[in-house]
Structure formats: C-alpha cells, structure tokens
C-alpha cells in the first residue's frame, strides 16, 4: 500500500482560528474541533485535500 | 464522575436554531435539555452580524440590546464599483439590523431558559447513542468527564461543522462548490456608511462576495466568502480580503481589532433532515440561504417548527422518522422553494464574468423595482443588455 502524504493541521493557534470550516467540509467526518484543539483521524483521512482549500487562513498543509 | 442524564428533548448546540427549538419544545410541555460545548453562549462570534427583521415577530423574538444599529438598505457593488441600492425590505435575509451576535445568541438562550429549558455549558457530544437503529441520546463530555444523556428526541443544532447528524447516519456532506470559506475582520477607523450594508461582487471574491456591515462610529465588519472550489492556494480567503482592503483607501487606513473565520454552506436543501429519534436544524441542516449566506432567520424559523414537533412526538410517544415528517414537510413548506431557487441563482452567478456583473448592475442604475425578485431584475437588465439575460432564460 502506498504511504499517505503528510497532512499537518497547525492548530497551536499560530495560524488556526478554530473556525471549524475544515470540520464541516471533511467528507469522511474525520476532523474534530474541541474548543482550541483540532485533530484528525490519520487512519480514516484519505488526503483528499478539501480541508486545505476550505481553511480560510492556510493552517492546513499537505505534502 | 458526571451523572448520566435523562430528558424528553436533547438539543445539541445553543446557537439561534438550537435555542429556538429548545424554547418552543419547552413551551409545548416537553422537558428540554440544551448542551453547548463552549463556555460562553454566542462567543466567540463567527458571523457577519447582518440580519433581516421582518421574520422576528413570527417566531417570538423581541427587539433587545442585541440590536447594534438599523440600516436603510443594501448597496451592491459591481466589479467596476457601479452601485445598485436596495431598500432593506427587499434586500434578502442579511439586511435590516446589524446585531451584536453574541448578545443575540445569549438572549435566545435566556428566552429558552425562561421557558423552562435546562442549559448546560462546556458539554460536547462525542457520539450518538442508538438502540434498534433509533437515536436515543448522545455520549457527551462535560469538563472532560464522559457521561451519557438519554433523550426521547435528539436535536442536532451543532452548526456548520455538525457531526451529530452524520453520526446518526444522515448525509450532510457538501461539495466544494457548495461551501464558502469565510474570513472577517472587525475594523475600526474605516469610512463606511452606517445607512447601508455593502456587498462587493465579482473576482474580488470568486463565488462569494466581500461585505462591509457597519457597527457605528467608524467600526465595521469587513469580511469575505470565497467558494471553496475556486480556491487556488492556501489562505486564499485571507489573501483576497487583504487585497480588497489594500485597494480601498477608506478601509486600508483602518485597524483590525478582531478576526473570525468559518465555513458557510451554499448548497441546495438536504434531501433528508430527520431520522428515527433525531432531527437536524439550522446550519447543521444546511439551511443557509445559498445566495446571501444568511442562516439565522432560516434556522430560527425552522427551529420553531422543530421544537413544536419534538414536543408533540414526546407527548405521543412517537419519536420516529415517520412522525418527524411533520417537521420535514413543515420547514420545507416555508423555506425550501426559496432555498432551491437561490441555489440555482447562485450556481449561475458564480459563473458570471466581471464584465457581465458590471452590465447587470449598470442596467439597474436608476431603475426603481416594485418588488425585488430575480425575475424583475432580469426584466430590467433585458431592456438594456438583452444578450446578458440570455444566460438566465430559465429564470425569466
């Protein structure tokens, strides 16, 4: 199985504004917003990159 | 250990749609519990704070200190900044009041509490409880402690990033073309006109618009929505907004004192918003107007219906998908046609070139429309630029 690309959500607050845009659009419902923490399920995520585009401030990177 | 709870109606999310649902369910005699994951209802604000006003009395909301100011109307700016002015009565569901959204949400929660609703803060749903395929409550965490809430009816009012509905098996997935990614600054020392909410269309905000909603004394919410399918690079929403501000001296001189972001669905209505034991309402049910991006009015209007049906289901002991058709049919009767029509209009508008936008707004200069409708606008445009209206034949 090919290894997945690296997905990084900068959720320490340097970029992330905890708005939930990525959570709402994730087609697999695998991103979670918990007040000031965003996590995603590494196993479920397919790296479709929709969240990267949905993030208004560029806090999600893939590559 | 946090003790498990039992209630008739559980509302997840204390935004406007949740509070309205909770209030009307309680008013109809149900025992209602409303949970909110945040520690403060309404804060942080994630909203442009523009709102129409005609609908408020219909759902039992009275004016209060949540009103920031009243505007006379909206001004729509074409890419070359020709302006079309619309009276507040005709301007759609984001124009009328500019509000203090945190105060508004708190007022609705207070109204709910006064109707008998129990409100519990700092409590997040983590999954749904199901028995024989029916939702019977949620697993939740309060101050980090897991516990269960059992309910006859569960309401998903958990906003754009709703997960409760999806956990229950109701599809709320949206395509990239059906979502706008939004960013807004609250700015001070800007030259805005307190009489108007301003909207800037075209390539300044692909698939969306830039808005300026005045807050008084040189303060304004200056924001942008960009269709996700038109995003080319990371942080495009911010980049487009910064660029717009840079090119408008009256705003470039302002200072940013606050920044909020979020997702707004601009989709056609969901096929289904109910299941056994569960109903979806507000942004969670994708009830946002796809043309304006306004969601408060629709969420509250549907919330009232949702609360009434929830209470009825409790009394009748029938929290079934079949029974909840009453809500499904009820909210659709009021909102669906317009949502669908505006979604079609949005699908068309996002394809327009800046040149066409300019022609449309230009054709409307000096025209006084009796009633603002897509049909009337197109009639006016047809007189000056018949070639433009060809693209819209379906609406004529």
Considering CB atoms only, which of B161, B228, B261 is closest to A57? B261
CATH hierarchy code of domain B74-99+176-265: 3.30.9.10
Q: What is the pLDDT of residue A3?
A: 72
CATH hierarchy code of domain B5-47+102-174+268-339: 3.50.50.60
| B2/B302 Cα distance (integer angstroms) | 32
| B374/B378 Cα distance (integer angstroms) | 6
Place of tokens 């004016």: B63
Question: If pLDDT is split at 50, 70 and 90, which confidence band does B395 have?
Answer: low
Q: Boundaries of CATH 3.50.50.60 in chain B?
A: 5-47+102-174+268-339
C-alpha of B172 from chain center: 15
Give me the helices (H) in chain B, please. Answer: 16-27, 101-114, 164-167, 236-246, 249-252, 296-316, 325-349, 354-363, 374-384, 386-389
Residue numbers in B near A19 (CB within 8 A) = 46, 182, 260-263
CATH hierarchy code of domain A7-62: 3.30.70.20
Does residue B373 carry a pLDDT above 80? no
| B329/B325 Cα distance (integer angstroms) | 6
Cβ-Cβ contacts under 8 Å for B3 (sequence gap 6 or more): B147
| B382/B377 Cα distance (integer angstroms) | 9
* Residue in chain B lying closest to A58 (CA): B235
Taking the Cβ of residue B181 and every Cβ of chain A, the question of whether any pair is shorter than 8 Å is answered with yes
Mutant choice from B171, B177, B263 vs A, greatest count of A C-beta within 10 A: B263
ipTM: 0.90
* Domain residue ranges of chain A, discontinuous segments joined by +: 7-62
Q: What is the pLDDT of residue B243?
A: 98
Question: If pLDDT is split at 50, 70 and 90, which confidence band does B233 have?
Answer: very high
B14-53 pLDDT tens trace? 999 999 999 999 999 999 999 999 999 999 898 999 999 9
Q: What is the pLDDT of residue B386?
A: 84
Helix (H, G, I), strand (E, B) or coil at B348: helix
Does residue B371 carry a pLDDT above 70? no
Mutant choice from A7, A18, A24 vs B, greatest count of B C-beta within 10 A: A24
Question: If pLDDT is split at 50, 70 and 90, which confidence band does A2 have?
Answer: low
Query: What letter would DSSP give residue B254?
Result: S
Q: What is the pLDDT of residue B372?
A: 66
- Evaluate the CA torsion angle B193, B198, B204, B209 in order and state its sign: positive
Place of tokens 């700015």: B187
Cβ separation of A60 and B234 shorter than 8 Å? yes
B72-100 pLDDT tens trace? 999 999 999 999 888 877 766 678 999 99
Q: Strands, E, within A1-63: which ranges?
A: 7-9, 31-33, 38-40, 60-62
Residue numbers in B near A63 (CB within 8 A) = none
| B226/B235 Cα distance (integer angstroms) | 11
Which of the two residues, B144 and A24, has the higher pLDDT score?
Answer: A24
Cβ separation of B46 and A25 shorter than 8 Å? no
A13-52 pLDDT tens trace? 789 998 999 999 999 999 988 767 889 999 999 999 999 9
| A42/A24 Cα distance (integer angstroms) | 17
Query: What letter would DSSP give residue B80?
Result: T
Q: What is the pLDDT of residue B364?
A: 84
Cβ separation of A24 and B259 shorter than 8 Å? no
B115-130 pLDDT tens trace? 999 999 999 999 999 9
Q: Boundaries of CATH 3.30.9.10 in chain B?
A: 74-99+176-265
Q: Is the separation of the CB atoms in B358 and B365 below 8 Å?
A: no
| B277/B327 Cα distance (integer angstroms) | 13
């Amino acid at each position: 199985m090919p290894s997945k690309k690296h997905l990084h959500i900068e959720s320490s607050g340097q970029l992330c504004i905890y708005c939930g845009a990525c959570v709402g659009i994730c087609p697999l419902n695998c991103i979670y917003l918990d007040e000031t923490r965003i996590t995603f399920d590494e196993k479920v995520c397919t790296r479709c990159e929709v969240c990267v585009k949905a993030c208004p401030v560029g806090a999600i990177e893939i590559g | 250990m946090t003790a498990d709870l039992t209630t008739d109606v559980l509302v997840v999310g204390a935004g406007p749609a949740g509070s309205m649902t909770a209030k009307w369910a309680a008013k109809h005699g149900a025992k209602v519990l409303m949970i909110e994951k945040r520690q403060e209802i309404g804060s942080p604000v994630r909203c442009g704070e523009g709102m129409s006003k005609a609908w408020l009395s219909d759902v039992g909301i009275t004016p209060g200190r949540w009103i920031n100011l009243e505007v006379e109307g909206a001004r729509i700016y074409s890419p070359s900044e020709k302006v079309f002015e619309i009276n507040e009565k005709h301007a759609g569901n984001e124009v009328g009041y500019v509000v203090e959204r945190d105060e508004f949400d708190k007022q609705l929660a207070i109204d709910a509490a006064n109707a008998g609703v129990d409100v519990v803060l700092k409590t997040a749903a983590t999954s749904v409880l199901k028995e024989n395929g029916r939702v019977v409550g949620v697993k939740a965490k309060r101050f980090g402690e897991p516990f269960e809430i059992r309910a006859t009816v569960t309401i998903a009012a958990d906003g754009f990033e709703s997960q409760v509905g999806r956990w229950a098996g109701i599809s709320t997935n949206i395509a990239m073309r059906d979502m706008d990614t939004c960013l807004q600054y609250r700015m001070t020392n800007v030259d805005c006109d307190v009489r108007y909410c301003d909207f800037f269309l075209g390539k300044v905000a692909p698939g969306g618009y830039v808005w300026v909603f005045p807050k008084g004394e040189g303060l304004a919410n200056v924001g942008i929505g960009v269709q996700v399918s038109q995003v080319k690079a990371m942080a495009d929403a911010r980049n487009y907004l910064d660029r717009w501000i840079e090119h408008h001296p009256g705003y470039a001189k302002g200072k940013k004192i606050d920044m909020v972001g979020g997702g707004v669905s601009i989709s056609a209505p969901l096929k289904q918003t109910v299941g056994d034991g569960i109903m979806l309402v507000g942004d969670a049910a994708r009830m946002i107007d796809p043309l304006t991006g306004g969601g408060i009015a629709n969420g509250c209007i549907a919330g009232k219906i949702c609360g009434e049906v929830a209470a009825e289901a409790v009394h009748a002991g029938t929290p079934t998908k079949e029974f909840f058709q009453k809500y499904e049919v009820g909210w659709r009767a009021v909102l669906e046609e317009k949502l669908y029509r505006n979604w079609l209009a949005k699908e068309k508008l996002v394809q327009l070139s800046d040149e066409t936008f300019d022609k449309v707004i230009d054709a409307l200069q000096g025209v006084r429309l009796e009633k603002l409708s897509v049909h009337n606008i197109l009639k006016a445009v047809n007189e000056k630029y018949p070639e433009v209206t060809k693209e819209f034949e379906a609406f004529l």
